[in-house]
Amino acid sequence: MNRKLLPFILLVFISCDKYDGRMVVSSKRLANIYVAIANADNLDNAVELSFNGNDDKYYYTRKISSNSEERIKKYGLNSWYQLATSKENKSLFIFVFSKDTILKHSWEEIKSNSKYERKIELSIRDLERLRWHVEIY
């Protein structure tokens, strides 16, 4: 291989991050929590946050360990911003669940019975002010 091309090829691969990693969720609680994120005030619009597990509830929620933070990546450049601005309200909704709820209920039960502990609405202005770092107490 031509040695002059190698730096260029490496630069292309390094600069092609296809994920938007700006969203960070921190738990300030003593127990683990799970979060789901949607661009509407219901769980029907929850976005896929995980790629593991064998049940929908694990695809649409992300575990946040007690007193820690998770950087939540979404596929696509600028995709969190696009999701937040895709509806008239220009907001994202973060739904907070206990570990117990996730373990005991199906995703359909969780959605249809609104089995979340808390729902936080953050406008695009709020998210930018927080620098996309959301703390859950």
The predicted structure's pLDDT at residue 101: 97
In a domain, 2, yes or no: no
Name which of 48, 69, 68 is nearest 57 in CA terms: 48
Per-residue model confidence as pLDDT tens digits over 98-136: 999 999 999 999 999 999 999 999 999 999 999 999 999
Question: How does DSSP classify residue 39?
Answer: S
Per-residue model confidence as pLDDT tens digits over 32-90: 999 999 999 999 999 988 766 567 888 899 999 999 999 999 999 999 999 999 999 99
In a domain, 10, yes or no: no
Residue 10 has pLDDT above 50, yes or no: no
Higher pLDDT, 12 or 78: 78
Cα distance between residue 108 and residue 116, in whole Å: 12
In a domain, 111, yes or no: yes
In a domain, 37, yes or no: yes
Cα distance between residue 70 and residue 31, in whole Å: 15
> In CATH, what number is assigned to the domain containing residue 123?
2.60.40
In a domain, 91, yes or no: yes
Confidence tier at 12 by pLDDT (50, 70, 90): very low
In a domain, 4, yes or no: no
In a domain, 126, yes or no: yes
The total of structural domains in the chain comes to 1
The predicted structure's pLDDT at residue 49: 87
The boundaries of the domain holding residue 37 are: 18-136
Whole-structure pTM value: 0.84
In a domain, 6, yes or no: no
